[in-house]
With several copies, the nearest count.
Chain A
Amino acid sequence: MEIQIISFGKISEFIAHQKIEISDIRNTDELKAYLETSFPLLSNMKYKLSLNKDIVQENTAISNQDTVGIMPPFSGG
């Protein structure tokens, strides 16, 4: 299946928005492991994922055409 990756803040400097084709990834935990292998800088950082319009709090199933956001710690205000 295909998912859309979007990235923010510091992370947007080394992960561009992109569509990725994933075959054996079914949930956000598996996606995290995949991302940290593909983008080693990510494994040393604090970050959260969003899935469509929700922040991921626990491991969640991913479906075709989902949008996953990769978000470093917030610094608004």
Chain B
Amino acid sequence: MERKVKNIFIDGRIEPAFIAESISKHSVKTTIGGHSIFMGQVRKDEIEGKLVAAIEYTAYQELALEKMHQIREDIFQKYPLHCMHVYHSLGTIKAGEICLFVFTSSTRRKPAIDACAEIVERLKAELPIWGKEIFEDDTHQWKENS
């Protein structure tokens, strides 16, 4: 069993060009028939009259990567995937920018679609990552996943 723990953290926003590059790399994998992608984007939520300007993400990185490694192994056990890529931003991500990118690929469409959805759920529930919502007036509140 391989014990290579992959890094998932990226400083700052995830660029659409990075996503395109990631998609491009799969054109040589000609047993893939379906790709599923989920992206999280920072919302300009209004909370008690104040607008969210950005979310500042921090993580307990060591623990998060260890946990993500377990999730990865579980998902590969459960679904016949060719590829699985996960990236999460750290630092300040402005409203409208992308902070999460999950990408799965399989021969037929269903495993990619189901695995992608399950990774997003597990990642939100299990990874020690915290988002601090920074309002336009520089006050803040801590986000909580429901």
Question: Do A and B actually bind?
Answer: yes
A residues contacting B by CB (< 8 A) are 6, 8-10, 50, 53-55, 69, 71-77
Is A76 a contact partner of B60 (Cβ separation < 8 A)?
Answer: no
B52 interface residue (CB < 8 Å to A): no
CB closest chain-A residue, reference B143: A75
A-B Cβ contacts below 8 A, count: 70
* 4 cross-chain pairs, A with B, having the tightest CB-CB distances, nearest first: A76-B129, A9-B130, A75-B143, A77-B124
Is A9 a contact partner of B40 (Cβ separation < 8 A)?
Answer: no
Can you name 17 A-B pairs with beta carbons within 8 Å? A50-B63, A53-B66, A55-B63, A72-B142, A73-B145, A74-B126, A74-B129, A75-B129, A75-B142, A75-B143, A76-B123, A76-B131, A76-B145, A77-B40, A77-B100, A77-B120, A77-B124
- Residues on the A chain within 8 Å of B123, using CB: 76-77
**Which bracket fits the contact residues of B?**
20 to 34
Partner of A75, one of B62, B66, B120, B145: B145
B132 interface residue (CB < 8 Å to A): yes
CA distance A54 to B67 in the complex (A): 9
Which applies to chain B's interface (DSSP): helix, strand, loop or mixed? Answer: mixed
- Residues on the B chain within 8 Å of A71, using CB: 60, 128
Is B62 a contact partner of A8 (Cβ separation < 8 A)?
Answer: no
Kindly list 6 other residue pairs between chains A and B, CB separation below 8 angstroms, not including A73-B144, A74-B126: A9-B58, A50-B128, A74-B127, A74-B129, A77-B99, A77-B109
B residues contacting A by CB (< 8 A) are 40, 57-60, 62-64, 66-67, 88, 99-100, 109, 120, 123-132, 142-145
- Residues on the A chain within 8 Å of B88, using CB: 76-77
- Give the most central of A6, A55, A75, A76: most B CB within 10 Å: A76
CA distance A22 to B105 in the complex (A): 50
Partner of A10, one of B40, B124, B142: B142
